[in-house]
Chain A
Amino acid sequence: MVDTRIYEMFREIGRDLYVANMISSHGGNLSIRLGDRVVIKRRGAMLGQLKPHDLIETRLDKNDSGVALASTELLVHRTVYLNTPALAICHCHPRTAIAFSLSRDEIVPIDNEASYLLKKVPVVMEEFASGTPQMANKVADGLKNYKIIMLRGHGSFAIGQTLDEAFFWSSTLEEACQIMLFTKQINESFIEYRKMSESYNKF
């Protein structure tokens, strides 16, 4: 049985993702690692309206009955946990970031906060972009070196020690992309204000 404190954490972050327009009604998923187990959103549950029974606890290293109920992306989450120090994962569909992921191989923010926090976000591509081993491996590979990556045309995967840390990286990326979009719309020349920003793409 998942602790009430853990459920409340999922409910709050899930609701915030929906309110922030970073998922559709049934999109995205969240998970945390509890030792050798994973707590993940139930398949088909609405992140914005999570109930206690919407959290599924399952093994990290192999299947058990929980796999019948868990999110479609369980394999991705497991692979990430087995290959990185992550204790929490936030997967969402930030719209502006998805739009940028369709035309570039990495997103290099230009605003101050995301420049501090992210430096750059790689974009990876996988044809079978939902719940497959190929996708799981690509996402996990990317997250070995970065705390958030974009899967082209699909969404972001962010890791952290806590759910709100992973959510923080996700919302920071989306905010950065919105600012990039606005500057494109304004269409005025960019005045560089960050020393050594030319090195961000080497981060």
Chain B
Amino acid sequence: MAGWSEKVLDIDLNTQTYKTYPLDMEMARLFIGGRGIGARLLWDLVGPDVDPLSPENVLIFANGPLTATGYQTSNRFSVTTKSPLTGTVLDANSGGFWGMQFKKAGYDVMIVRGKSPHPVWIEIRNGEILFQDASELWGLRVYALTEKLGQNNHKRNVLCVGPAGENLSRIASIMNDRERALARGGPGAVMGSKNLKAIVVEGQYRPAIADPDRFKFLLYETRKLLAASPLTSQALPEFGTVVLMNIMNNIGALATRNHQQTQFEGAEAISGEELTEKYLVKNASCWACPIGCTRVSKTDRVEGEGPEFETTWAFGAQCGVDDLAAIIEVNSLCNDLGLDTISAGSTIACAMELSEKGYLDSDLRFGRADLLARCVEEMAYRRDLGADLTEGSLRLATKYGRPELSMSAKGLEFPAYDPRGMQGQGLLYATSNRGGCHMRGNMVGLEVLGLPKLIDRFQVQGKSSYVILHQNASAAIDSLVVCKFVNMGVADEYFARVLSAVTGIQYATGDMIRVGERVYNLERLYNNREGFTTKDDTLPPRLLTEAPLDGPSQGWVSNLAPMLREYYRTRGWDENGVPTKRKLADLGLTDLV
């Protein structure tokens, strides 16, 4: 069938063997690909008795029917696993080139099981799967390893872990194409725990498209819409994602100093404007992306991709640091070591507050840009305080007796948007299946940017409907798999039409959103099975009780309780946050429980 390769690659690292078999196409119809298929497979493969860092956990790499078709941003793929940071279902999603190449190798899904007895890397080339000894590569950092294994953006692509993954950092990322990251929730630690250093792929097939004429028309119309949107044609290309720094600061929703404030006096110094003016070398873009939000920036010490907005915020406002050069350098270091920049920065911020308040004996203080790189190095190698930091902020804060100082939900550190200035975002964080995350239906579109139209960011009543729609749409987009930035210029209806043109299966917009709802409910069931309950759908006490003393969000706390009640009811879940039988039957998930 067009769109899918209809092939699963199943690797057993215990024996260094593999098998291939047909993709279950009924599963593909119901869950599309990427995150959706990943969640469905994880449900069967990894139960509540499995430690995320044990050989019994799996890594599920999956692309989607749109991947490698040439549709705008059809370069993405995801990895699904049980998170060593949160214990929840985890999928992380990345751009670049590797996902496109993996699809062109002829596979929809790759399942990696077990643990190799010695370090190994996998090479997928000319239809062969080769297990290569990685003993000599173990310990190499990402940039050196990527070059050594022959990275070539359009031909041969490298996905790997750095020292952080090898050392089982719970905030370790998997890196691909040198500087792209499957970052959140610690998938790099799972890969490291399997003694798997890298997966290199070369592809040769072109995916089939069911209705090429309609596809060509939609490709053209999408290009027009992206060119017409100021966000995708001007703001992102000119300033990158860091364009959000001043915007969020101006509305008083930029979390600052471990969420002690909602505005940062140094925001201008770490803004997209400043990055472009002083450090930008050129733009770059992922495969088939006309937006080109990637920055290539340069300081006296480093040159490379980034930093993204969340990274700049995490090591900037969240740590009270206004030294953009230091942030660019620590971003590069995180990429080289294979660390999630959001969790790394936010965990350091948590340690800074613990230290300033006397709960932790360290020299960390807000504003100490000079200590960022040292902390990150220590995290990757589990040295000194890094051994605690690399466990993430919740474990760190708990160890030092102040768990409430971890700015996280379900143990995953928040990104930049402070829920006290965006009521919907608070509900989003609290109910996100992988923990405090902005990529599970970001409300910044509706509450800040006016996409598709602006809603009142302080409104409480009715917010659950928006959050649910965006969570479902987000799960669908993550299953296609394309970049959410396209959605800034192109409505969901286009994705449904493109999916129909590529696969030949007619999906209305509502059908696609319903796939997202199915995925979201399945992920929730997974978390319920792992023991997560309504008590985990919450925010740190600071966000619920401590209102900002000044700024545009002055006097506001997150009004979570009524939104959460409305959310459960609207989701069709019971008061304990469990999907009802009626809801599961409606979504075709009854057989799972």
Bound pair (A, B): yes
Interface residues of A (CB under 8 A from B): 2-3, 5-6, 32-36, 83-85, 87, 116, 119, 144-147, 160-162, 164-165, 168, 195-196, 199, 202-203
- Whether B513 and A34, one on each chain, are in contact in the complex, defined by CB atoms closer than 8 angstroms, is no
A203-B462 Cα distance, complex, nearest whole Å: 32
A-side contacts of B455, CB under 8 Å: 162
Q: Is B497 in the interface zone, CB < 8 Å from A?
A: yes
- Whether A87 and B469, one on each chain, are in contact in the complex, defined by CB atoms closer than 8 angstroms, is yes
- Whether B510 and A35, one on each chain, are in contact in the complex, defined by CB atoms closer than 8 angstroms, is no
B-side contacts of A119, CB under 8 Å: 221
A160-B446 Cα distance, complex, nearest whole Å: 12
Query: What is the distance, in angstroms, from A86's C-beta to the closest C-beta of chain B?
Result: 9
- Whether B566 and A35, one on each chain, are in contact in the complex, defined by CB atoms closer than 8 angstroms, is yes
Q: Is B569 in the interface zone, CB < 8 Å from A?
A: yes
Q: A87-B465, A87-B466 are in contact. List 20 more A-B contacts (CB 8 A).
A: A3-B459, A6-B459, A32-B462, A34-B465, A34-B566, A36-B570, A83-B510, A85-B469, A85-B472, A85-B510, A85-B513, A145-B508, A146-B493, A160-B452, A162-B446, A162-B455, A196-B220, A199-B214, A199-B217, A202-B214
Partner of B510, one of A84, A168, A196: A84
Chain B residue nearest to A198 (CB atoms) is: B217
Q: Number of contacts between A and B (CB, 8 Å)?
A: 80
Binary interface encoding of chain B residues 453-494 relative to chain A, with 1 for a CB under 8 A from any of its CBs, else 0: 111101111101110010011000000000000000001110
Beyond A36-B569, A144-B509, whether A162 also contacts B452 by CB under 8 A is yes
B-side contacts of A144, CB under 8 Å: 508-511
Partner of B461, one of A34, A160, A161, A195: A34
A116-B228 Cα distance, complex, nearest whole Å: 9
**Of A6, A84, A165, A168, most B-chain CB atoms within 10 Å:** A165
Query: What is the distance, in angstroms, from A7's C-beta to the closest C-beta of chain B?
Result: 11
Chain A residue nearest to B216 (CB atoms) is: A196
- Whether A165 and B462, one on each chain, are in contact in the complex, defined by CB atoms closer than 8 angstroms, is no
Task: Pick the 5 closest A-B CB pairs, nearest first.
Answer: A35-B570, A199-B217, A144-B508, A34-B462, A3-B461
Query: What is the distance, in angstroms, from B460's C-beta to the closest C-beta of chain A?
Result: 7
A32-B221 Cα distance, complex, nearest whole Å: 30
- Whether B569 and A35, one on each chain, are in contact in the complex, defined by CB atoms closer than 8 angstroms, is yes
Query: What is the distance, in angstroms, from B176's C-beta to the closest C-beta of chain A?
Result: 32
B-side contacts of A199, CB under 8 Å: 213-214, 217
A36-B572 Cα distance, complex, nearest whole Å: 9
Q: Is B155 in the interface zone, CB < 8 Å from A?
A: no
- Whether B214 and A35, one on each chain, are in contact in the complex, defined by CB atoms closer than 8 angstroms, is no
B-side contacts of A162, CB under 8 Å: 446, 452-455
B-side contacts of A147, CB under 8 Å: 491, 493
- Whether A35 and B465, one on each chain, are in contact in the complex, defined by CB atoms closer than 8 angstroms, is yes
Q: Is B224 in the interface zone, CB < 8 Å from A?
A: yes
Q: Is B225 in the interface zone, CB < 8 Å from A?
A: yes
A199-B454 Cα distance, complex, nearest whole Å: 32
A2-B460 Cα distance, complex, nearest whole Å: 11
29 A-B pairs whose Cβ atoms sit less than 8 Å apart in the complex: A2-B461, A3-B461, A3-B462, A6-B461, A6-B462, A34-B462, A35-B462, A35-B465, A35-B566, A35-B567, A35-B569, A35-B570, A36-B569, A83-B510, A85-B469, A85-B473, A87-B466, A116-B228, A119-B221, A144-B508, A144-B510, A146-B493, A147-B491, A161-B466, A162-B446, A162-B453, A168-B453, A196-B220, A199-B217
A-side contacts of B509, CB under 8 Å: 84-85, 144-145
- Whether A161 and B570, one on each chain, are in contact in the complex, defined by CB atoms closer than 8 angstroms, is no
A-side contacts of B224, CB under 8 Å: 116
Query: What is the distance, in angstroms, from A167's C-beta to the closest C-beta of chain B?
Result: 9
B-side contacts of A164, CB under 8 Å: 453
A199-B212 Cα distance, complex, nearest whole Å: 13
A84-B225 Cα distance, complex, nearest whole Å: 23
- Whether B453 and A3, one on each chain, are in contact in the complex, defined by CB atoms closer than 8 angstroms, is no
A33-B455 Cα distance, complex, nearest whole Å: 14
Chain B residue nearest to A203 (CB atoms) is: B497
**Of B213, B220, B465, most A-chain CB atoms within 10 Å:** B465
A146-B456 Cα distance, complex, nearest whole Å: 26
Query: What is the distance, in angstroms, from B393's C-beta to the closest C-beta of chain A?
Result: 32
A-side contacts of B453, CB under 8 Å: 160-162, 164-165, 168
A-side contacts of B460, CB under 8 Å: 3
Query: What is the distance, in angstroms, from B546's C-beta to the closest C-beta of chain A?
Result: 24
A5-B458 Cα distance, complex, nearest whole Å: 9
B-side contacts of A116, CB under 8 Å: 224-225, 228
- Whether B452 and A161, one on each chain, are in contact in the complex, defined by CB atoms closer than 8 angstroms, is yes
Query: What is the distance, in angstroms, from A202's C-beta to the closest C-beta of chain B?
Result: 6
A-side contacts of B493, CB under 8 Å: 145-147
Chain B residue nearest to A87 (CB atoms) is: B465
A-side contacts of B217, CB under 8 Å: 196, 199, 202
